[in-house]
Structure 1
């Protein structure tokens, strides 16, 4: 169940975007496809967030609905023309993505300005499932073919979807192989230090009096499993397939989120709420606790894997410091160079 704060912010953004799309469609954008230019003759049928969809195989004139998807495209050698931005700012991984996209010449646009999508006439629209995409998928399909990746799917599955849609499957597999090796190397170091086999909880404040427990999908879940950790059963942390990757937890059950290892996701997700570590109901005792960036640990892409691995090494092995914006940019640049 979504926290009230998340629902309120999503509703405001969605209402504005929906109104813009309705104006566009009333003005006559045409039938399905809206007359959009198609970047190639080959087409592929993929299973995205809303079921099976057929899209052109193209690496040109791609509109990314969000910075996460846009950065994933950069990782497989595809530069989108535009990327929607987030309405909230401050998380280190978010800011790192902004820098990377701006440096590549990707035009960062207000996600509410749907008329810009129509004007750009993209060959393909791609993005990650969100509350906004749930409301707007039918409208977006009138502009161009759309591929929306599932919000709770493991990172490598979504990267493969983007690879197939852009004709960069080989590059996607190279990235996956490289990151799998990085996970294996880190797991070996954790085993030597006697840190594997423990239960890891992922949690955050999600507004005043509300907390979030994160499941085993997206990026952090598969990475932690690959490193040899266990996930708590309470509040679905050991589950994959949660619609948006988390469940809401009331304050009286906050103690359920304590485990031998706890990563507290901090940043914009808190909506100004106090740090959970200051709450007397969240008594961590002798647990190992690390405060990490929300946008990276709640991420759904390959970009987040080296970020999470770096944080794990910092918190559990005392190897360096947790990732910030600058070091996150460097990590991604190293990933691109290693997999080019």
Structure 2
């Protein structure tokens, strides 16, 4: 489920970068010499960064929209591999409207040519392979994909000098989570068990653990996760485990959120499978990109869907609703 595909053969890319580095010299232009510096813990260890909110390159649209929430407009963002997912379409729309240039994330030579002051992104298999070359271009902050959304936003706030805005957004969303939890308790749904599943290709299904943003939100609003297939655990690789079709019935629960979109890889929705009898369970078909997300952008989207299914408020979020929720989030620091 990597969000950054490899579209250019890696050896060719690295050879081109090596040639450019030898002719241009290594290291980015960076922030001004008198900018404060911070040492932050990234996915590959500690990195020293000259704090800046200018000439920032985002490797993926998730990180790029986190920057927008902080009031930072990156110069570029890698585009998404998950075409058609509502949350990614919404992200790319927001970025385009902000004047952010969307590029192929595998084109490392474009990053070198842009000479950014800072490169930021979420850890993926692609970043694992390219981190050494990226680090020759500019300081690189790669955030571990399992980092809680508030900690990830906090790291970006420190790197860009917008820590106060990060704290304001975190406080706002924490309050929204607390309010939803109180409303769920009042409605008598506290303690309900919630299963998160999707099709993951022909005959294969995914059960999602509690290690990413959606899992932590469900726990924080007073809901529970089933033990089946590790949904109550936060240490599953990339946040999910695969389940064969004959075990599909084990993924039922009183509340079920089914992730739809690119994650299905063209496979039928689990709700169409006769082995998956949901009975009187409350079911919501939700956007994969938002519910598998890891940023502050995803929090109001997930809360919206929880309130729609459990409290009967509004409807499941689509692209338009997602952009509206993000614009409301930006107003917190306006």
Q: Name the TM-score, length of structure 2 as normaliser.
A: 0.94
| CA deviation after TM superposition for structure 1 residue 189, in Å | 1.4
Is 1:149 the counterpart of 2:143? The answer is yes
Q: Which residue of 2 aligns with 1:205?
A: 199
Tell me if 1:313 matches 2:311: no
The answer to whether 1:118 aligns with 2:112 is: yes
Of the candidates 169, 172, 187, which is equivalent to residue 181 of structure 2? 187
Alignment RMSD, CA only? 1.8
Match of 2:258 among 259, 264, 269: 264
Match of 2:28 in 1: 36
After TM superposition, the structure 1 = structure 2 runs for residues 128-147 of structure 1, keeping only pairs within 5 Å, are: 128-147=122-141
1:26 maps to which of 15, 18, 24: 18
Q: CA deviation at 1:328?
A: 0.7
Aligned to 1:313, the other structure's residue is in SS state helix
Q: Counterpart of 1:3?
A: none
1:88 maps to which residue? 82
Match of 1:170 among 139, 151, 164: 164
Asked if residue 54 in structure 1 is aligned to residue 48 in structure 2, the reply is yes
- SS in structure 2 opposite 1:334? helix
Equivalent of residue 8 in structure 2, options 9, 16, 21 = 16
2:286 aligns to what?
292
- 1:204-227 Cα distance to aligned partner (Å, 9 max, x none): 111111111111122111111111
Counterpart-to-counterpart distance in 2, 1:163 and 1:20: 35
How far apart, in 1, do the equivalents of 2:229 and 2:51 lie?
A: 40
Superposition deviation, residue 28 in structure 1? 4.3
The runs of 5 or more residues in structure 1 that have no matched partner are 1-5
Q: How does 1:314-333 map to 2 (within 5 A)?
A: 314-333=308-327
Q: Structure 2 vs 1, CA of residues 78 and 17 (structure 1 numbering), >3 Å: closer, same or farther?
A: farther
Whole-Å separation in 2 of the counterparts to 1:124 and 1:242: 31
| Match in the other structure for 2:232 | 238
For 2:323 and 2:31, the matched residues in 1 are separated by: 30
Cα distance in 2, alignment partners of residues 109 and 94 from structure 1: 14
In 2: Cα distance, 1:134 partner to 1:317 partner = 41
CA–CA distance in 2 between the matches of 1:147 and 1:25?
Answer: 19
- For the Cα contact (< 8 Å) 1:151–1:245, is it kept in 2? no
Relative to structure 1, is the Cα distance of residues 138 and 243 closer, same or farther in structure 2, using a 3 angstrom cutoff?
Answer: farther
* Contact 2:82–2:88 under 8 Å retained in 1: no
- The one-character-per-residue Cα deviations of 1:144-201 (angstroms, maximum 9, x if unpaired) are 1111111122111111111111111111010000001111111121111111111111
Find the counterpart in structure 1 of residue 57 from structure 2: 63
**CA deviation profile, 1:4-40 (whole Å, cap 9, x unmatched):** xx58x97xx3262624531223304159x92311114
SS at match of 1:232: coil
Distance 1:88 1:100 in 2: 16
Q: 1:230 Cα deviation (Å)? A: 0.8
Contact 1:14/1:135 (8 A) holds in 2: no
Cα distance in structure 1, aligned partners of 2:36 and 2:235: 31
- How many residues align? The count is 331
C-alpha change, 1:34 and 1:242, in structure 2 (3 Å) is: farther
C-alpha distance in structure 1 between counterparts of 2:297 and 2:140, whole Å: 22
CA distance in 2 between counterparts of 1:114 and 1:86 reads: 16
Counterpart-to-counterpart distance in 2, 1:118 and 1:55: 18
Instruction: For 1:17 and 1:173, locate their aligned partners in 2 and report how far apart those are by CA, in whole Å.
Output: 40
Instruction: Give the secondary structure class of the aligned counterpart of 2:222.
Output: coil
Q: Deviations over 1:263-304 (max 9, x none)?
A: 000001001000001112222222111100000000000001
